[in-house]
Structure 1
Amino acid sequence: MTTTIGIDVGSGVIKTALFRVEGERSEWVARWDARIRQRDPYRLVDESVESVLRSAGLKRDRIDYIATTGEGESVQGATGHFYTMTTHARGALYLDPEARAVLDIGALNGRAIRIDERGKVLSYRMTSQCASGSGQFLENISRYLGISQDEIGTLSQQSKHPEKVSSICAVLAETDVINMVSRSIPPSDILRGIHESMAERLIKLLKSIDVRQGVVMMTGGLALDTGLVQAIQDGMDLQKMGTRVASHPDSLYAGAIGAALWGAFRHRKLQALGRLPSAS
Protein backbone atom coordinates (compact mmCIF):
# COMPACT_ATOMS: atom_id res chain seq x y z
CA MET A 1 0.00 0.00 0.00
CA THR A 2 1.20 3.50 -0.90
CA THR A 3 0.22 6.54 1.17
CA THR A 4 0.48 9.88 -0.57
CA ILE A 5 -0.41 13.52 -0.09
CA GLY A 6 -1.39 15.77 -3.00
CA ILE A 7 -1.12 19.55 -2.57
CA ASP A 8 -2.66 21.93 -5.10
CA VAL A 9 -1.39 25.48 -4.55
CA GLY A 10 -3.79 27.72 -6.46
CA SER A 11 -3.84 31.48 -6.87
CA GLY A 12 -6.67 31.81 -4.36
CA VAL A 13 -7.07 28.49 -2.51
CA ILE A 14 -4.81 25.70 -1.28
CA LYS A 15 -6.25 22.18 -1.47
CA THR A 16 -4.69 19.08 0.09
CA ALA A 17 -5.72 15.42 -0.13
CA LEU A 18 -4.29 12.30 1.53
CA PHE A 19 -4.77 8.97 -0.25
CA ARG A 20 -4.02 5.31 0.32
CA VAL A 21 -3.48 3.43 -2.94
CA GLU A 22 -3.14 -0.32 -3.42
CA GLY A 23 -3.10 -1.62 -6.98
CA GLU A 24 -6.17 -0.21 -8.74
CA ARG A 25 -7.91 0.64 -5.45
CA SER A 26 -7.63 4.09 -3.92
CA GLU A 27 -9.04 5.47 -0.67
CA TRP A 28 -9.42 9.18 -0.02
CA VAL A 29 -8.56 9.41 3.66
CA ALA A 30 -8.37 13.11 4.52
CA ARG A 31 -8.74 16.56 2.96
CA TRP A 32 -8.12 20.22 3.74
CA ASP A 33 -8.62 23.53 1.96
CA ALA A 34 -8.32 27.22 2.77
CA ARG A 35 -8.43 30.54 0.95
CA ILE A 36 -5.04 32.23 0.87
CA ARG A 37 -6.25 35.83 1.03
CA GLN A 38 -3.19 37.76 2.32
CA ARG A 39 -1.56 34.90 4.21
CA ASP A 40 1.73 33.16 3.47
CA PRO A 41 0.78 30.25 1.15
CA TYR A 42 3.71 28.10 2.26
CA ARG A 43 2.71 28.35 5.90
CA LEU A 44 -0.76 27.30 4.85
CA VAL A 45 0.72 24.32 3.01
CA ASP A 46 2.50 23.23 6.22
CA GLU A 47 -0.76 23.67 8.12
CA SER A 48 -2.61 21.63 5.51
CA VAL A 49 -0.15 18.73 5.71
CA GLU A 50 -0.33 18.65 9.49
CA SER A 51 -4.12 18.75 9.31
CA VAL A 52 -4.52 15.78 6.94
CA LEU A 53 -1.92 13.77 8.89
CA ARG A 54 -3.82 14.46 12.10
CA SER A 55 -7.13 13.50 10.49
CA ALA A 56 -5.63 10.25 9.19
CA GLY A 57 -3.88 9.47 12.48
CA LEU A 58 -0.49 9.27 10.74
CA LYS A 59 3.03 10.54 11.34
CA ARG A 60 4.86 12.28 8.51
CA ASP A 61 7.34 9.42 8.17
CA ARG A 62 4.47 7.13 7.13
CA ILE A 63 3.91 9.14 3.94
CA ASP A 64 5.52 7.60 0.88
CA TYR A 65 5.19 10.55 -1.49
CA ILE A 66 4.18 14.21 -1.22
CA ALA A 67 3.20 15.58 -4.62
CA THR A 68 2.55 19.22 -5.45
CA THR A 69 0.81 20.86 -8.37
CA GLY A 70 -0.29 24.34 -9.43
CA GLU A 71 2.05 26.95 -7.96
CA GLY A 72 3.53 24.50 -5.47
CA GLU A 73 6.82 23.72 -7.20
CA SER A 74 8.83 25.39 -4.41
CA VAL A 75 7.08 23.71 -1.48
CA GLN A 76 9.65 22.53 1.06
CA GLY A 77 9.59 18.80 1.83
CA ALA A 78 7.71 17.76 -1.30
CA THR A 79 8.88 14.65 -3.13
CA GLY A 80 7.86 15.74 -6.62
CA HIS A 81 5.81 18.18 -8.69
CA PHE A 82 3.24 17.57 -11.47
CA TYR A 83 1.85 19.96 -14.08
CA THR A 84 -1.65 21.31 -13.49
CA MET A 85 -3.11 19.83 -16.69
CA THR A 86 -1.88 16.38 -15.67
CA THR A 87 -3.29 16.48 -12.16
CA HIS A 88 -6.67 17.98 -13.08
CA ALA A 89 -7.05 15.38 -15.83
CA ARG A 90 -6.43 12.52 -13.38
CA GLY A 91 -8.54 14.12 -10.67
CA ALA A 92 -11.45 14.66 -13.07
CA LEU A 93 -11.33 11.00 -14.08
CA TYR A 94 -11.37 9.96 -10.42
CA LEU A 95 -14.50 12.07 -9.84
CA ASP A 96 -16.21 10.82 -13.01
CA PRO A 97 -14.73 7.82 -14.90
CA GLU A 98 -16.75 8.86 -17.98
CA ALA A 99 -14.98 12.23 -18.26
CA ARG A 100 -13.18 12.77 -21.55
CA ALA A 101 -12.52 16.48 -21.15
CA VAL A 102 -11.93 18.94 -18.32
CA LEU A 103 -12.80 22.61 -17.86
CA ASP A 104 -10.60 23.91 -15.06
CA ILE A 105 -11.62 27.44 -14.09
CA GLY A 106 -9.52 29.00 -11.36
CA ALA A 107 -9.03 32.41 -9.84
CA LEU A 108 -7.01 33.86 -12.74
CA ASN A 109 -7.71 31.82 -15.87
CA GLY A 110 -9.48 28.85 -17.38
CA ARG A 111 -8.22 25.86 -19.35
CA ALA A 112 -9.81 23.17 -21.48
CA ILE A 113 -8.17 19.74 -21.45
CA ARG A 114 -8.96 16.73 -23.64
CA ILE A 115 -8.17 13.37 -22.03
CA ASP A 116 -8.46 9.67 -22.77
CA GLU A 117 -9.99 6.88 -20.67
CA ARG A 118 -6.78 6.65 -18.59
CA GLY A 119 -6.67 10.37 -17.79
CA LYS A 120 -3.80 11.05 -20.19
CA VAL A 121 -3.75 14.63 -21.53
CA LEU A 122 -4.23 14.63 -25.31
CA SER A 123 -4.38 18.41 -25.82
CA TYR A 124 -5.23 21.63 -23.97
CA ARG A 125 -5.80 25.37 -24.37
CA MET A 126 -5.88 28.24 -21.87
CA THR A 127 -7.53 31.63 -21.58
CA SER A 128 -5.38 34.68 -20.90
CA GLN A 129 -4.94 35.90 -17.34
CA CYS A 130 -6.74 39.17 -18.06
CA ALA A 131 -9.86 37.44 -19.38
CA SER A 132 -13.27 38.12 -17.86
CA GLY A 133 -13.79 34.40 -17.35
CA SER A 134 -12.11 33.71 -14.04
CA GLY A 135 -12.98 33.28 -10.40
CA GLN A 136 -11.38 36.59 -9.44
CA PHE A 137 -13.51 38.44 -11.99
CA LEU A 138 -16.74 36.93 -10.66
CA GLU A 139 -15.65 37.62 -7.07
CA ASN A 140 -15.11 41.28 -7.97
CA ILE A 141 -18.50 41.47 -9.66
CA SER A 142 -20.33 39.86 -6.73
CA ARG A 143 -18.69 42.34 -4.37
CA TYR A 144 -19.79 45.23 -6.58
CA LEU A 145 -23.35 43.88 -6.75
CA GLY A 146 -23.42 43.42 -2.97
CA ILE A 147 -24.09 39.68 -3.05
CA SER A 148 -22.18 36.69 -1.72
CA GLN A 149 -20.41 34.29 -4.08
CA ASP A 150 -22.73 31.51 -2.90
CA GLU A 151 -25.68 33.46 -4.34
CA ILE A 152 -24.26 33.88 -7.85
CA GLY A 153 -25.44 30.57 -9.32
CA THR A 154 -28.98 30.76 -7.94
CA LEU A 155 -29.48 34.37 -8.99
CA SER A 156 -28.16 33.69 -12.49
CA GLN A 157 -30.70 30.91 -12.98
CA GLN A 158 -33.52 33.34 -12.11
CA SER A 159 -32.68 35.62 -15.05
CA LYS A 160 -35.43 36.58 -17.50
CA HIS A 161 -33.49 38.89 -19.85
CA PRO A 162 -29.71 38.24 -19.76
CA GLU A 163 -27.46 41.21 -20.44
CA LYS A 164 -24.26 39.97 -22.04
CA VAL A 165 -20.82 41.39 -21.30
CA SER A 166 -19.16 42.31 -24.58
CA SER A 167 -15.51 42.62 -23.55
CA ILE A 168 -13.02 39.81 -23.03
CA CYS A 169 -10.80 42.09 -20.93
CA ALA A 170 -11.73 41.86 -17.25
CA VAL A 171 -11.23 45.58 -16.59
CA LEU A 172 -13.46 46.62 -19.50
CA ALA A 173 -16.02 43.96 -18.58
CA GLU A 174 -16.25 45.40 -15.06
CA THR A 175 -16.91 48.79 -16.65
CA ASP A 176 -19.74 47.15 -18.64
CA VAL A 177 -21.23 45.87 -15.38
CA ILE A 178 -21.03 49.30 -13.75
CA ASN A 179 -22.94 50.72 -16.71
CA MET A 180 -25.57 47.98 -16.41
CA VAL A 181 -26.10 48.75 -12.73
CA SER A 182 -26.52 52.44 -13.56
CA ARG A 183 -29.24 51.40 -16.02
CA SER A 184 -30.99 49.42 -13.26
CA ILE A 185 -30.40 46.03 -14.90
CA PRO A 186 -31.32 43.35 -12.29
CA PRO A 187 -28.35 41.45 -10.79
CA SER A 188 -29.81 38.15 -12.03
CA ASP A 189 -29.73 39.37 -15.66
CA ILE A 190 -26.19 40.74 -15.24
CA LEU A 191 -24.92 37.47 -13.78
CA ARG A 192 -26.61 35.32 -16.41
CA GLY A 193 -25.17 37.56 -19.12
CA ILE A 194 -21.69 37.15 -17.61
CA HIS A 195 -22.18 33.39 -17.40
CA GLU A 196 -23.28 33.21 -21.05
CA SER A 197 -20.25 35.25 -22.16
CA MET A 198 -17.94 33.01 -20.14
CA ALA A 199 -19.65 29.90 -21.50
CA GLU A 200 -19.15 31.04 -25.11
CA ARG A 201 -15.41 31.45 -24.58
CA LEU A 202 -15.03 28.16 -22.70
CA ILE A 203 -16.97 26.26 -25.38
CA LYS A 204 -14.68 27.79 -28.03
CA LEU A 205 -11.71 26.48 -26.05
CA LEU A 206 -13.24 23.00 -25.99
CA LYS A 207 -13.94 23.03 -29.72
CA SER A 208 -10.42 24.29 -30.45
CA ILE A 209 -9.03 21.05 -28.98
CA ASP A 210 -11.66 18.94 -30.75
CA VAL A 211 -13.92 18.13 -27.79
CA ARG A 212 -17.30 17.39 -29.38
CA GLN A 213 -18.73 14.49 -27.41
CA GLY A 214 -18.65 12.80 -24.00
CA VAL A 215 -18.59 14.15 -20.44
CA VAL A 216 -16.82 17.45 -19.72
CA MET A 217 -15.91 17.59 -16.02
CA MET A 218 -15.73 21.00 -14.36
CA THR A 219 -12.88 21.49 -11.88
CA GLY A 220 -11.45 24.45 -10.02
CA GLY A 221 -13.06 27.17 -7.97
CA LEU A 222 -16.02 27.83 -10.30
CA ALA A 223 -17.04 24.19 -10.75
CA LEU A 224 -19.81 24.59 -8.18
CA ASP A 225 -21.23 27.76 -9.73
CA THR A 226 -24.54 26.25 -10.85
CA GLY A 227 -25.34 29.25 -13.03
CA LEU A 228 -22.11 28.86 -14.99
CA VAL A 229 -22.55 25.09 -15.32
CA GLN A 230 -26.08 25.63 -16.69
CA ALA A 231 -24.93 28.34 -19.11
CA ILE A 232 -22.21 26.03 -20.48
CA GLN A 233 -24.68 23.17 -20.95
CA ASP A 234 -27.19 25.49 -22.60
CA GLY A 235 -24.47 26.73 -24.94
CA MET A 236 -23.44 23.18 -25.81
CA ASP A 237 -27.03 22.24 -26.55
CA LEU A 238 -27.52 25.35 -28.69
CA GLN A 239 -24.47 24.42 -30.76
CA LYS A 240 -25.65 20.80 -30.95
CA MET A 241 -22.50 19.42 -29.38
CA GLY A 242 -22.70 15.83 -28.16
CA THR A 243 -21.24 16.80 -24.81
CA ARG A 244 -22.58 16.85 -21.26
CA VAL A 245 -21.04 19.17 -18.68
CA ALA A 246 -20.68 17.67 -15.21
CA SER A 247 -19.66 18.96 -11.81
CA HIS A 248 -18.99 17.17 -8.52
CA PRO A 249 -19.17 18.34 -4.90
CA ASP A 250 -15.42 17.65 -4.68
CA SER A 251 -14.45 19.31 -8.00
CA LEU A 252 -12.40 21.88 -6.07
CA TYR A 253 -10.03 19.08 -5.04
CA ALA A 254 -9.39 17.67 -8.53
CA GLY A 255 -5.81 18.96 -8.70
CA ALA A 256 -4.92 17.67 -5.23
CA ILE A 257 -6.55 14.31 -5.98
CA GLY A 258 -4.64 13.99 -9.23
CA ALA A 259 -1.36 14.95 -7.56
CA ALA A 260 -1.85 12.30 -4.86
CA LEU A 261 -2.74 9.59 -7.39
CA TRP A 262 0.10 10.45 -9.77
CA GLY A 263 2.42 10.55 -6.75
CA ALA A 264 1.41 6.98 -5.90
CA PHE A 265 1.99 5.91 -9.51
CA ARG A 266 5.46 7.52 -9.61
CA HIS A 267 6.35 6.01 -6.22
CA ARG A 268 5.56 2.50 -7.48
CA LYS A 269 7.62 3.06 -10.64
CA LEU A 270 10.61 4.37 -8.69
CA GLN A 271 10.28 1.56 -6.18
CA ALA A 272 10.47 -0.98 -8.99
CA LEU A 273 13.65 0.73 -10.23
CA GLY A 274 15.15 0.94 -6.74
CA ARG A 275 15.34 4.73 -6.93
CA LEU A 276 12.92 5.84 -4.24
CA PRO A 277 13.12 9.44 -2.97
CA SER A 278 11.64 10.19 0.44
CA ALA A 279 9.01 12.64 1.62
CA SER A 280 10.53 14.77 4.36
Structure 2
Amino acid sequence: MITTLFSPVNLSIAVLCAISSLMSGQSSAINLTENTDIPSRVLKPGLYKISIVDSLDDRYIVRVEYPNSTEHQLFLGVVGSPHPAGVVDWEKGIDGNHAIREVSFENGPVVEFVYPKADAAKLAQKNKSHIVAVDYASANIVHTDRLTADQIRVVDLWTLSFTKTGPEDQTPAILAQRYEPPSTQVTTPNLGVAQVAQLHLPAQPAASPTPPALRPVKHLATIRTLPHTGSQLPLVWLLGALSIVGALSLQFSSNKRGSAGS
Protein backbone atom coordinates (compact mmCIF):
# COMPACT_ATOMS: atom_id res chain seq x y z
CA MET A 1 0.00 0.00 0.00
CA ILE A 2 2.83 2.41 0.81
CA THR A 3 4.47 1.70 -2.54
CA THR A 4 1.22 2.48 -4.35
CA LEU A 5 0.64 5.76 -2.52
CA PHE A 6 4.12 7.11 -3.16
CA SER A 7 4.71 5.79 -6.66
CA PRO A 8 6.44 8.19 -9.14
CA VAL A 9 3.19 8.72 -11.04
CA ASN A 10 1.23 9.71 -7.95
CA LEU A 11 4.02 11.98 -6.77
CA SER A 12 4.15 13.72 -10.16
CA ILE A 13 0.40 14.29 -10.12
CA ALA A 14 0.60 15.65 -6.59
CA VAL A 15 3.39 18.07 -7.50
CA LEU A 16 1.49 19.35 -10.54
CA CYS A 17 -1.65 19.83 -8.50
CA ALA A 18 0.29 21.69 -5.83
CA ILE A 19 1.89 24.00 -8.39
CA SER A 20 -1.47 24.69 -10.03
CA SER A 21 -3.02 25.39 -6.64
CA LEU A 22 -0.28 27.83 -5.69
CA MET A 23 -0.51 29.56 -9.06
CA SER A 24 -4.29 29.83 -8.84
CA GLY A 25 -4.02 31.37 -5.39
CA GLN A 26 -2.13 34.43 -6.63
CA SER A 27 -4.12 37.62 -6.07
CA SER A 28 -3.56 41.33 -5.71
CA ALA A 29 -5.72 44.28 -4.67
CA ILE A 30 -5.55 47.50 -6.69
CA ASN A 31 -7.12 50.85 -5.92
CA LEU A 32 -8.11 52.80 -9.04
CA THR A 33 -8.65 56.55 -8.84
CA GLU A 34 -9.61 57.06 -12.49
CA ASN A 35 -11.39 55.18 -15.24
CA THR A 36 -9.05 52.38 -16.35
CA ASP A 37 -9.15 50.03 -19.32
CA ILE A 38 -8.78 46.29 -18.95
CA PRO A 39 -9.56 43.72 -21.66
CA SER A 40 -13.21 44.11 -22.75
CA ARG A 41 -14.11 46.45 -19.92
CA VAL A 42 -13.59 49.92 -18.44
CA LEU A 43 -13.18 49.92 -14.66
CA LYS A 44 -14.48 52.86 -12.68
CA PRO A 45 -12.60 54.22 -9.65
CA GLY A 46 -12.65 51.79 -6.75
CA LEU A 47 -10.91 48.87 -5.07
CA TYR A 48 -10.59 45.72 -7.17
CA LYS A 49 -9.15 42.27 -6.64
CA ILE A 50 -7.13 40.70 -9.45
CA SER A 51 -6.31 37.01 -9.24
CA ILE A 52 -5.13 34.08 -11.36
CA VAL A 53 -7.78 31.37 -11.53
CA ASP A 54 -6.05 29.00 -13.96
CA SER A 55 -2.88 28.66 -16.00
CA LEU A 56 -1.48 26.67 -18.87
CA ASP A 57 2.19 26.95 -19.86
CA ASP A 58 2.72 30.66 -20.56
CA ARG A 59 -1.00 31.57 -20.51
CA TYR A 60 -3.20 32.58 -17.61
CA ILE A 61 -6.89 33.14 -16.92
CA VAL A 62 -7.17 36.40 -14.98
CA ARG A 63 -10.18 37.31 -12.86
CA VAL A 64 -11.11 40.84 -11.80
CA GLU A 65 -13.66 41.12 -8.99
CA TYR A 66 -15.64 44.32 -8.58
CA PRO A 67 -15.99 46.06 -5.20
CA ASN A 68 -19.08 45.24 -3.15
CA SER A 69 -20.42 43.02 -5.92
CA THR A 70 -20.41 39.44 -7.13
CA GLU A 71 -19.75 40.63 -10.68
CA HIS A 72 -16.42 39.71 -12.18
CA GLN A 73 -14.52 39.73 -15.47
CA LEU A 74 -12.34 36.96 -16.93
CA PHE A 75 -9.75 37.43 -19.63
CA LEU A 76 -6.45 36.04 -20.91
CA GLY A 77 -2.98 36.93 -19.75
CA VAL A 78 0.54 35.93 -20.78
CA VAL A 79 3.97 36.03 -19.18
CA GLY A 80 5.04 39.65 -18.73
CA SER A 81 8.34 41.44 -18.18
CA PRO A 82 9.80 41.08 -14.67
CA HIS A 83 9.33 44.10 -12.38
CA PRO A 84 8.49 44.74 -8.71
CA ALA A 85 5.05 43.87 -7.41
CA GLY A 86 2.33 46.22 -8.58
CA VAL A 87 0.46 47.45 -11.64
CA VAL A 88 2.03 48.88 -14.80
CA ASP A 89 -0.07 50.97 -17.18
CA TRP A 90 0.38 51.63 -20.86
CA GLU A 91 1.57 55.16 -21.47
CA LYS A 92 -1.63 55.91 -23.41
CA GLY A 93 -5.00 54.24 -22.99
CA ILE A 94 -7.61 53.32 -25.56
CA ASP A 95 -9.98 56.31 -25.39
CA GLY A 96 -8.18 58.69 -23.06
CA ASN A 97 -8.38 56.38 -20.04
CA HIS A 98 -5.57 54.62 -18.27
CA ALA A 99 -4.98 51.08 -19.55
CA ILE A 100 -3.39 48.33 -17.47
CA ARG A 101 -0.49 46.65 -19.20
CA GLU A 102 0.52 44.04 -16.64
CA VAL A 103 0.33 43.09 -12.99
CA SER A 104 3.21 41.71 -10.95
CA PHE A 105 1.95 39.52 -8.12
CA GLU A 106 3.98 39.52 -4.93
CA ASN A 107 6.09 36.36 -4.82
CA GLY A 108 4.38 35.31 -8.05
CA PRO A 109 4.41 35.77 -11.81
CA VAL A 110 4.11 38.91 -13.89
CA VAL A 111 1.00 38.73 -16.08
CA GLU A 112 0.54 40.90 -19.17
CA PHE A 113 -3.08 41.49 -20.11
CA VAL A 114 -4.22 40.24 -23.54
CA TYR A 115 -6.61 42.71 -25.20
CA PRO A 116 -9.20 41.95 -27.90
CA LYS A 117 -7.78 42.73 -31.33
CA ALA A 118 -9.75 45.97 -31.87
CA ASP A 119 -8.57 47.48 -28.57
CA ALA A 120 -5.07 46.05 -29.04
CA ALA A 121 -4.79 47.80 -32.41
CA LYS A 122 -5.64 51.14 -30.78
CA LEU A 123 -3.08 50.57 -28.03
CA ALA A 124 -0.41 49.60 -30.57
CA GLN A 125 -1.04 52.76 -32.59
CA LYS A 126 -1.12 55.09 -29.58
CA ASN A 127 1.89 53.62 -27.78
CA LYS A 128 3.96 52.64 -30.84
CA SER A 129 4.59 49.34 -29.10
CA HIS A 130 3.87 45.61 -29.35
CA ILE A 131 0.51 44.53 -27.95
CA VAL A 132 -0.58 40.94 -27.39
CA ALA A 133 -4.05 40.45 -28.87
CA VAL A 134 -6.70 37.74 -29.10
CA ASP A 135 -9.60 37.16 -31.47
CA TYR A 136 -12.22 35.36 -29.40
CA ALA A 137 -14.68 35.19 -32.30
CA SER A 138 -12.31 33.15 -34.47
CA ALA A 139 -12.09 30.59 -31.64
CA ASN A 140 -15.89 30.56 -31.21
CA ILE A 141 -15.58 31.94 -27.69
CA VAL A 142 -18.69 34.01 -26.99
CA HIS A 143 -18.73 34.33 -23.20
CA THR A 144 -15.32 35.26 -21.86
CA ASP A 145 -16.65 35.21 -18.30
CA ARG A 146 -16.55 31.41 -18.50
CA LEU A 147 -13.08 30.88 -19.94
CA THR A 148 -11.58 27.43 -19.41
CA ALA A 149 -8.09 25.98 -19.69
CA ASP A 150 -9.16 24.05 -22.78
CA GLN A 151 -10.19 27.30 -24.47
CA ILE A 152 -6.99 29.17 -23.72
CA ARG A 153 -5.05 26.18 -25.03
CA VAL A 154 -6.51 26.44 -28.55
CA VAL A 155 -7.12 30.16 -28.95
CA ASP A 156 -4.69 31.97 -31.26
CA LEU A 157 -2.74 34.91 -29.87
CA TRP A 158 -1.22 37.69 -31.98
CA THR A 159 1.31 40.45 -31.50
CA LEU A 160 0.17 43.74 -33.01
CA SER A 161 2.63 46.53 -33.72
CA PHE A 162 2.41 49.94 -35.34
CA THR A 163 4.09 50.44 -38.70
CA LYS A 164 3.86 52.56 -41.85
CA THR A 165 3.39 51.42 -45.42
CA GLY A 166 2.87 52.86 -48.88
CA PRO A 167 5.00 55.35 -50.79
CA GLU A 168 7.69 56.81 -48.53
CA ASP A 169 6.13 54.93 -45.57
CA GLN A 170 3.50 57.57 -44.89
CA THR A 171 0.41 55.37 -44.40
CA PRO A 172 -0.13 54.18 -40.77
CA ALA A 173 -0.85 50.47 -40.47
CA ILE A 174 -0.96 47.65 -37.91
CA LEU A 175 1.30 44.64 -38.39
CA ALA A 176 -0.04 41.35 -36.99
CA GLN A 177 2.31 38.46 -36.21
CA ARG A 178 1.86 35.17 -34.41
CA TYR A 179 2.56 35.58 -30.72
CA GLU A 180 5.80 33.99 -29.59
CA PRO A 181 6.20 33.51 -25.82
CA PRO A 182 9.40 34.92 -24.34
CA SER A 183 12.21 32.39 -24.15
CA THR A 184 13.09 31.78 -20.53
CA GLN A 185 15.52 28.91 -20.93
CA VAL A 186 17.92 27.87 -23.66
CA THR A 187 18.15 24.09 -23.93
CA THR A 188 21.38 22.46 -25.05
CA PRO A 189 21.44 18.98 -26.54
CA ASN A 190 23.15 16.29 -24.50
CA LEU A 191 26.45 16.22 -26.34
CA GLY A 192 28.79 15.50 -23.46
CA VAL A 193 30.56 17.86 -21.08
CA ALA A 194 33.43 18.80 -23.38
CA GLN A 195 31.23 19.55 -26.39
CA VAL A 196 28.69 21.54 -24.38
CA ALA A 197 31.48 23.68 -22.97
CA GLN A 198 32.61 24.46 -26.49
CA LEU A 199 29.09 25.53 -27.44
CA HIS A 200 29.18 28.25 -24.80
CA LEU A 201 32.51 29.68 -25.86
CA PRO A 202 32.36 32.72 -28.15
CA ALA A 203 33.69 32.08 -31.61
CA GLN A 204 37.23 33.27 -31.99
CA PRO A 205 37.88 35.40 -35.07
CA ALA A 206 40.24 33.87 -37.60
CA ALA A 207 43.77 35.15 -37.22
CA SER A 208 44.67 37.44 -40.07
CA PRO A 209 48.07 36.84 -41.68
CA THR A 210 50.82 39.19 -40.62
CA PRO A 211 51.47 41.63 -43.46
CA PRO A 212 55.02 41.58 -44.83
CA ALA A 213 57.33 44.33 -43.70
CA LEU A 214 57.52 47.21 -46.13
CA ARG A 215 60.77 47.66 -47.93
CA PRO A 216 62.13 50.84 -49.60
CA VAL A 217 61.70 50.91 -53.35
CA LYS A 218 64.92 51.32 -55.38
CA HIS A 219 64.60 53.26 -58.61
CA LEU A 220 66.88 51.61 -61.21
CA ALA A 221 68.59 53.61 -63.96
CA THR A 222 67.08 53.25 -67.41
CA ILE A 223 69.10 50.91 -69.69
CA ARG A 224 68.99 52.01 -73.33
CA THR A 225 70.91 49.03 -74.89
CA LEU A 226 71.02 45.38 -73.98
CA PRO A 227 74.36 44.18 -72.54
CA HIS A 228 76.55 41.78 -74.60
CA THR A 229 76.42 38.78 -72.34
CA GLY A 230 76.57 36.02 -75.05
CA SER A 231 79.63 33.64 -75.05
CA GLN A 232 81.94 33.27 -78.21
CA LEU A 233 82.62 29.56 -77.60
CA PRO A 234 79.99 28.31 -80.09
CA LEU A 235 81.63 30.39 -82.83
CA VAL A 236 85.05 28.81 -82.15
CA TRP A 237 83.54 25.34 -82.38
CA LEU A 238 81.87 26.22 -85.65
CA LEU A 239 85.10 27.51 -87.21
CA GLY A 240 86.99 24.43 -86.03
CA ALA A 241 84.38 22.14 -87.55
CA LEU A 242 84.55 23.98 -90.87
CA SER A 243 88.37 23.71 -90.89
CA ILE A 244 88.22 19.95 -90.35
CA VAL A 245 85.64 19.54 -93.11
CA GLY A 246 87.82 21.61 -95.46
CA ALA A 247 90.95 19.58 -94.67
CA LEU A 248 89.13 16.31 -95.25
CA SER A 249 87.79 17.60 -98.55
CA LEU A 250 91.30 18.56 -99.75
CA GLN A 251 92.69 15.20 -98.64
CA PHE A 252 89.93 13.36 -100.49
CA SER A 253 90.55 15.38 -103.67
CA SER A 254 94.32 14.75 -103.52
CA ASN A 255 93.84 11.01 -103.13
CA LYS A 256 91.43 10.96 -106.01
CA ARG A 257 93.92 12.71 -108.38
CA GLY A 258 96.72 10.31 -107.35
CA SER A 259 94.61 7.32 -108.20
CA ALA A 260 93.75 8.75 -111.61
CA GLY A 261 97.48 9.39 -112.53
CA SER A 262 98.43 5.81 -111.80
Bigger relative CO (Cα 8 Å, ≥ 6 apart): 1
Q: Is TM (by shorter chain) over 0.5?
A: no
Larger Rg: 2
Q: Which has the higher strand share?
A: 2
